[in-house]
């Protein structure tokens, strides 16, 4: 594959759009958890950070 190839560009755009949608959905979950469980914003953000780090660490092990 050559950088700038049509297929490469399409794949990159799909991956970036999926990442953006996942981040948006997780932001909504943080707000929902913050309201449901009466958490402060700092605690809710720590929960999201732990979730994201765990996902980043465990992803290579799933393949």
Each residue's pLDDT tens digit, 12-52: 888 888 888 887 887 787 778 778 888 888 888 888 888 88
CB 10 within 8 A of CB 4: no
Is 13 within a domain?
Answer: no
* pLDDT of residue 3 exceeding 70: no
Closest CA to 32 of 49, 48, 9, 16: 48
Give the domain extent around 50.
23-63
30 found inside a domain: yes
Cα–Cα dist 54/56, whole Å: 5
Higher pLDDT, 53 or 63: 53
Q: How many domains does the chain have?
A: 1
pTM, two decimal places: 0.51
CB 40 within 8 A of CB 51: no
- Quote the tokens at residue 61: 């092990």
């Amino acid at each position: 594959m050559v950088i700038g190839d049509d297929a490469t560009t399409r794949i990159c755009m799909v991956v970036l759009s999926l990442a953006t949608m996942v981040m948006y959905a997780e932001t909504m979950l943080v707000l929902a958890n913050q309201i449901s469980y009466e958490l402060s914003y700092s605690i809710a953000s720590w929960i999201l950070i732990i979730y994201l780090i765990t996902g980043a660490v465990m992803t290579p092990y799933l393949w």
